Amino acid sequence: MASPARFSYFDGPFQVLYSALFDRATTQSAVLLTSPGTIVDLEKKGRSYLYWRVYDARGKRSDRYIGPKDAPDTAAQLVKVEGQIAEARYYADTSRTLRKQGYAAADNSTALTLAALFNAGVFRHGAMLVGTHAFGALLNALGVRLPANDYTGVIDVARPRPIKLATRPEGGILEILRASGLPFAEVPELDLRKPSTSFKVRGRPLKVDLLVPGDERYLSYAVPELGAHATGLPFFDYLLADAAQSLVLGRDHVIPVRTPTPARYCVHKLIVASLRASTSAPKADKELAQAAVLAAVLSEKFPANLADAVASLGPQARKRVRQSARRAAALLDAQHGPGRDFLRDLASR
């Protein structure tokens, strides 16, 4: 049985800080794939040269040439680089402040991987982030703090429709992922005749799964614009029908992503819990806990959004929602009466 849902809200000033960060971060055209870095002055053969010193995903130092310190053209380039450093430090410092308060955040390798996907236009042109990292991003936007943030090492990228990239990368999704500076490789399926739908960093638990709408056969489908395949999931089209602009906080980065809306995410978790009930009780409990938290928050803040999400359910999805809703309701106490009533109503329909 899943533990009772426990959460609180962040203090007002931190919600205001997050909102300001959101407004600024979503205007980024690209995310820096290194640390913010510093300007260093190196002397060679009696002359001073300026470099932008940064560190990549694996901690490797790189000195990017700016120009001779005394050259007129260097001044303009220096101003440009200092502006990039200041912007990057703003994101790093603000993210650190929020993370110290308990805002959900990704580790550095995950953040850089998401940044590489963002820079390639994957989220901007059709893909969505789902799974645990999307849940954390949604909670942050709602101002919700959990006692602990339980993240997996998996990045779930959903493709509801073809991703309209300006140019297809020659190396496909692997080329995009490796732009993070991490050594991604395909994960072979147990049945070697089947195409891979996952990509993993060698020697680390970090993995990227590609997902598309499918059915309970969990077949793989071609994603030609990424030169890859994805696993088809049942009832996934319902989850991906509505998108929200979200942010993922990292150590040095803040990455704009698209996620499902909180209401669809909540209801879809009830569906998934029903699908997992006979195969993985711990995972089903996790889905129910996430659904309960979102039901409690949205019933208080945006009840109409929940009503719209329920109204969009098909007959088979409704049946699965009913199976899970009563169990999710049991995770909420009287303090969260509206959310508990919402779930109980779903169970009785």
pLDDT tens, 302-331?
999 999 999 999 999 999 999 999 999 999
303: how many CB neighbours lie within 10 A of its CB?
Answer: 14
- Determine, yes or no, domain membership for 67: yes
Give 26's Cβ-side CA count (13 Å radius).
14
Q: Give the chain's mean pLDDT.
A: 94
Per-residue pLDDT reduced to its tens digit, 172-219: 999 999 999 999 999 998 777 789 999 999 888 999 999 999 999 999
Per-residue pLDDT reduced to its tens digit, 99-152: 999 999 999 999 999 999 999 999 999 999 999 999 999 999 999 999 988 777
- Determine, yes or no, domain membership for 68: yes
- Determine, yes or no, domain membership for 74: yes
Statement: residue 278 has pLDDT above 80: no
Structure tokens at 142: 């709602």
Statement: residue 284 has pLDDT above 80: yes
- Determine, yes or no, domain membership for 62: yes
Per-residue confidence band for 4, with pLDDT thresholds at 50, 70 and 90: confident
- Determine, yes or no, domain membership for 73: yes
Which of 60-64, 101-105, 147-151, 295-299 shows the lowest mean pLDDT across its residues?
Answer: 147-151
Statement: residue 79 has pLDDT above 60: yes
- Determine, yes or no, domain membership for 78: yes
- Determine, yes or no, domain membership for 291: no
- Determine, yes or no, domain membership for 172: no
Instruction: Give the whole-angstrom CA distance, residue 170 versus residue 164.
Output: 15
For 77, the domain range is 38-99
Total count of domains within the chain: 1
